[in-house]
């Protein structure tokens, strides 16, 4: 094409963006049960030991390990049962030589005992037990602090909170925790030809739907979205709209108005009133992506053709949200390895995103490229299960090759 | 151990459960933008063509392809520009032999034209253009119905709705859509020794936190949860609680009270008042899982030690939710292939779930088994990034082998 300003590689674009976006410093303090999927804004350090005391790891008898030494199937040791340590009612006495206390899994190990003989290795006769197996000191006991030792950092700032993390926080007595404030993303579609309802269509008008992809992904990844609707190709109207949200959001994403043509105002406006970081990324589809800032508001300008919007969202927005939230790792999609059913074509120097449908035959997974091309064909995304990324240095991928497919559906048809 | 009733294999357990659970038939009709992550309760069939007319796929000139035949770089064809087809204001005339109309990407192709010459292959001189390249009929045109043909099923009942699906539904003029009613899951912890707040702890009392894992996963997968709190080991109190929710939920999950011991009432109660499908599944940890129903209410009885609760949730609850919601595929976790850093031990005949931490060195991913064993050690889950499943027929996995790791975190540390 040659008309876009110099195309930059995706990695470069992400680096520039990374530098320009500042991680959100605000936090909310909320009840742990409401933190699922949120991002920790503090390290979590345990102020207690778990378990708080030595406890039985199995049903059986708490004993002094040395009393079992020499016990064999045919030659049992005999111990005297002096009590029971109930879970809700621990035995308060002491276990001395030749004695045993019945324990349930989880109940407190009485003083003097240092091991538990599982119930199946013991024969009870009145208040005596025949022990047919030796146990080592510590065997079948959960030691105090074995799960969590006081002072241990159990969760790290920047982690996405999982169900098990919530349980762990409850276990150490935490009720509320600081999480990163949700990123606020404003989304605006640009184009005088666009309408928002199918009933408003008239000759030459086009229904806008690409911004739903941006809004959907932002919501899915835990952002709050503000939908600014459709703005005509008019500099002052666009500036107005930007002004309205400037101090309310962490990021503005525009959809449309970035490819080369008369109405492509977004990169023009950013350059005129702010700083344009780049315009044009060597990805296909999605090339006319731009980014910049105006008055400290970061702006991503995404192309309006829906497949291009999708690729821009997938490659840029997700990474921007990671940066804003300071998430420890990455928001990663599931991947599967699959055998390519047909040759993929791509231009060297351009990172190409090919939509594929996954099928399974005789335990092998195949990726069938959806051949309909064109950035306007949203059905090519909807019909697909995943994406194969062809890196810049390759010129297509041959049929029959194994490829990594990034799965874009939460269910998969096999 | 031999004390649990005959252990059944996980696959068998899932089959029994599958038969007992009935997919939810109720639906809600909601605005498309609120459907993200919900499950479609109907097929979506387009009642329109997209695009609704032939439109330009590039900026350039709409022409009759045959007028360009023979054009070469050094020997251009000359055409006369008779107008512009703006996106919001299409050209209403007809393109005849020797004529061309300027078109923007997305604008309507005027009658008579059947191809678009991209702007970069054209030199404009006054109202004439020099065409230096031939185009074939249909080239650079998005044909009417090329994206979606009227009558096509674009989404399928049972699909989880993605951001692109929402955009697609908007594109075909759909405002509201039927989605499966959210599954309602009641969760109850059982045990007289349990307390719900760290302040209530006294000798022999244990803080309950395992049910947070069940509640968290159910919420994460789109269920509504009702927390029934803690119930003591008392048959009539448990029956009471079940009675309260019997007609309000699709599934009851109990946590605790399923392993063999005096207080293990859940399987006992299910057998006594309903039908027990199984008690004891050959998975490690997590063995004392039971399932059954009472008065048509399906009940899953999960063990209370947190790692066992986690494995039960991971293996059984997720599958139960798929069945209830009628989701087309599966709720699948991300997986990565990694090299095992240390030997894993497992008992033959038992499917074993080993927690691992993932690391990356020189572009290779390694899985480090977290060696702390015991179903009580929740930190082994919290510290891990994923799970390696050792199937029943294996006896451990050797160090250095490549394994598939099911990733249980939404972020990963590399």
Note whether B278 and B196 are same-domain residues: yes
End residue of a domain, out of A325, A350, A369? A325
Q: What is the pLDDT of residues A24-83, one digit of tens each?
A: 999 999 999 999 999 999 999 999 998 888 989 888 999 999 999 999 888 999 999 999
- Model confidence at B301: pLDDT above 50: yes
Kindly determine whether residue B313 and residue A163, on different chains, have CB atoms separated by under 8 Å: yes
Nearest by CB to B382, which of A165, A310, A336?
Answer: A165
A132/A16 same-domain check: no
Inter-chain CB pairs, A–B, below 8 Å: 276
Question: Are the C-beta atoms of A61 and A82 separated by less than 8 Å?
Answer: no
Please report which confidence band the pLDDT of residue A384 belongs to, taking 50, 70 and 90 as the band edges. Answer: very high
Q: Are residues A201 and A319 in the same domain?
A: yes
Question: Based on the domain organization, do B365 and B231 belong to the same domain?
Answer: no
B330 touches chain A (CB under 8 A): yes
Q: Give the pLDDT confidence score for residue B333 in this predicted structure.
A: 84
Interface with chain B: mutation pick from A163, A179, A180, A187, highest number of B CBs within 10 Å: A163
In this prediction, residue A183 carries a pLDDT of: 97
Q: From the candidates B101, B102, B167, B229, which should be mutated to test the interface with A, based on the most A CB atoms within 10 A? A: B167
Q: Report the SS3 class of residue B107.
A: coil
pTM: 0.90
B414, part of any domain: no
Q: pLDDT at residue A2 above 60?
A: no
We report the CATH number of the domain holding residue A369 as 2.40.340.10
For B121-140, the pLDDT digits (tens) are 899 999 999 998 899 999 99
| Residues A394, A249 share a domain | no
Structure confidence at residue A204 (pLDDT): 72
Of B171, B201, B216, the CB nearest to A378: B171
Q: Which of A325, A345, A360 is the last residue of a domain?
A: A325
Residue B381 to residue A164, Cβ atoms within 8 A: yes
Same domain, A69 and A138: yes
Over range B371-377, report the average pLDDT: 75
Q: Are residues A114 and A257 in the same domain?
A: no
Flag whether B221 is in a domain.
Answer: yes
Q: CATH number for the domain including B128?
A: 2.170.190.11
Asked whether residue A160 falls in the same domain as residue A32, the answer is: yes
Helix count and strand count (H, E) for chain B:
8, 26
Q: Which two tokens stand for residue A368?
A: 């069938």
* Euclidean distance between CA atoms A263 and B13, whole angstroms: 61
Q: Determine which of A29-43, A236-250, B18-32, B329-343 has the lowest per-residue pLDDT on average.
A: B329-343
Mean pLDDT along residues B343-354: 92
Percent of chain B residues topping a pLDDT of 70 = 97
pLDDT at A3 over 50: no
Task: Tell me, yes or no, whether B223 and B307 share the same domain.
Answer: yes
Q: Do B213 and A164 touch (CB under 8 A)?
A: yes
In a domain, A1, yes or no: no
Find the domain containing A171 and state its range. 27-50+147-180
- Taking only the tens place, the pLDDT of each residue in A346-376 is 888 899 999 999 999 988 999 999 976 677 7
The CATH number of the domain where A234 resides is what?
3.40.980.10
Mean pLDDT of chain A: 92
My answer on whether B239 and B321 are in the same domain is: yes
Asked whether the beta carbons of residue B413 and residue A108 sit closer than 8 angstroms, the reply is: no
Residue B36 above 80 pLDDT? yes
pLDDT grade, residue B16 (50/70/90)? very high
Is the pLDDT assigned to residue B168 strictly greater than 80? Answer: yes
Domain assignment of residue B148, yes or no: no
Handedness of CA A297, A303, A307, A312 (dihedral sign): negative
Q: Give tens-digit pLDDT for A39-50.
A: 999 999 999 998
Q: Which residues of A touch B154 (CB under 8 A)?
A: 379, 382-383
Domain-located, residue A204: yes
Q: What is the CATH number of the domain that holds B176?
A: 3.90.105.10
- Which of B33, B168, B209 lies at the smallest CB-CB distance from A379? B168
Give how far B400 is from chain A: nearest CA, Å. Answer: 21
pLDDT average, residue stretch A291-296: 94
Q: Which of B2, B142, B327 sits opposite A411 (nearest CB)?
A: B327
Amino acid A271: pLDDT: 94
Q: Which residues of B touch A331 (CB under 8 A)?
A: 410-411
B208 and B189 Cβ atoms separated by less than 8 Å: yes
Contact criterion met (CB < 8 Å) for B168 and A382: yes
pLDDT of residue B258: 75
Q: Is residue B373 part of a domain?
A: yes
Distance, in angstroms, between A373 CA and closest chain B CA? 10
Q: Which of A202 and A94 is assigned the larger pLDDT?
A: A94
Helix (H) or strand (E) holding B387: strand B386-390
Crossing angle, helix B235-245 and helix B265-273, to 10 degrees?
A: 60
On whether residue B413 sits in a domain, the answer given is no
- Min CA distance, B292 vs chain A (Å)? 25
Classify residue A224 by burial, with Cβ atoms within 10 Å: 0-12, 13-18, 19+. middle
Contact B204, B191 (CB under 8 A): no
CB of A87 within 8 Å of a chain B CB? The answer is: yes
Residue B2 at interface with chain A, using a CB cutoff of 8 Å: yes
The interface predicted TM-score (ipTM) is 0.89
Q: How many domains does chain B have?
A: 4
User: Which chain B residues are closer than 8 Å to A327 by Cβ?
Assistant: 411
Is B301 in CB contact (< 8 Å) with chain A? no
- Same domain assignment for residues A190 and A218: yes
Distance CA B190, CA B234 (A): 9
The reported pLDDT for the residue numbered B281 is 95
Q: How confident is the model at residue B331 (pLDDT cuts 50, 70, 90)?
A: confident
Which member of B155, B212, B407 has the closest CB to residue A163? B212
**pLDDT tens string A112-166:** 999 999 988 899 999 999 999 899 999 999 899 988 999 999 999 999 999 999 9
The reply to whether A31 and A166 lie within a common domain is yes
Candidates A287, A393, A406; CA nearest to A349 is A393
Residue A331 — pLDDT band, cuts 50, 70, 90? confident
Residue B411 has its nearest CB partner, among A87, A154, A160, at A160
Is A411's CB within 8 Å of B166's CB?
no
Among the candidates A260, A292, A325, a domain finishes at: A325
The nearest CA of chain A is from the CA of B295 a distance in Å of 30
Residue B39 to residues B25, B27, B221, B405, Cα–Cα distance (Å): 12, 10, 11, 27
- Under a CB-based contact definition with an 8 Å cutoff, are residues A166 and A36 in contact? yes
pLDDT value at residue B12? 96
B298 in a structural domain: yes
Which pLDDT does position A263 carry in this prediction? 57
Give contacts of B 135-164 with A, CB under 8 A: 142, 146-148, 152, 154-155, 158-160, 162-164
pLDDT at A414: 62
pLDDT over 80 (residue B306): yes
Contacts of B108 in chain A (CB under 8 A): 203-204
């Amino acid at each position: 094409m040659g008309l876009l300003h110099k195309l930059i590689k995706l990695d470069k674009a992400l680096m520039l963006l990374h530098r320009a976006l500042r991680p959100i410093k605000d936090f909310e303090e909320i009840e742990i049960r409401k933190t699922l999927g949120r991002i920790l804004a503090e390290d979590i350090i345990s102020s207690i030991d778990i378990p708080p005391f030595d406890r039985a790891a199995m049903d059986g008898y708490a004993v002094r390990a040395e009393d079992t030494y020499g016990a064999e199937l045919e030659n049992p040791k005999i111990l005297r049962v002096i009590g029971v340590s109930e879970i809700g009612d621990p035995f308060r006495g002491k276990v001395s030589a030749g004695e045993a206390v019945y324990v349930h899994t989880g109940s407190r190990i009485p003083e003097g005992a240092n091991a538990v003989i599982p119930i199946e290795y013991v024969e009870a006769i009145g208040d005596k037990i025949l022990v047919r197996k030796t146990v080592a000191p510590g065997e079948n006991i959960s030691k105090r602090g074995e799960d969590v030792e006081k002072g241990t950092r159990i969760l790290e700032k920047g982690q996405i909170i999982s169900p098990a993390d919530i349980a762990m926080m409850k276990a150490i007595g935490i009720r509320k925790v600081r999480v990163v404030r949700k990123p606020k993303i404003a989304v605006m579609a640009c184009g005088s030809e666009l309408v928002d309802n199918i009933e408003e269509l008239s000759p030459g008008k086009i229904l806008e739907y690409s911004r739903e992809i941006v809004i959907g992904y932002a919501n899915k990844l835990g952002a709050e979205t503000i939908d600014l609707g459709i703005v005509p190709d008019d500099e002052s109207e666009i500036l107005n709209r930007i002004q309205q949200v400037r101090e309310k959001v962490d990021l503005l994403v525009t959809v449309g108005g970035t490819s080369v043509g008369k109405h492509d105002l977004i990169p023009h406006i950013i350059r005129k009133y702010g700083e344009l970081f780049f315009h044009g990324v060597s990805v296909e589809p999605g090339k006319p992506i731009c980014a910049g800032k105006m008055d400290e508001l970061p702006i991503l300008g995404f192309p309006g053709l829906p497949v291009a919007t999708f690729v821009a969202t997938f490659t840029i927005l997700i990474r921007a949200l990671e940066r804003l939230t300071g998430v420890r790792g990455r928001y990663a999609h599931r991947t599967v390895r699959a055998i390519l059913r047909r040759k993929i074509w791509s231009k060297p120097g351009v990172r190409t995103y090919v939509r594929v449908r996954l099928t399974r035959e005789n335990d092998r997974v195949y990726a069938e490229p959806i051949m309909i091309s064109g950035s306007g064909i949203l059905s090519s995304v909807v019909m697909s299960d995943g994406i194969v990324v062809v890196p810049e240095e390759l010129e297509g991928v041959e049929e029959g090759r194994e490829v990594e497919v990034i799965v874009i559906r939460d269910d998969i048809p096999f």
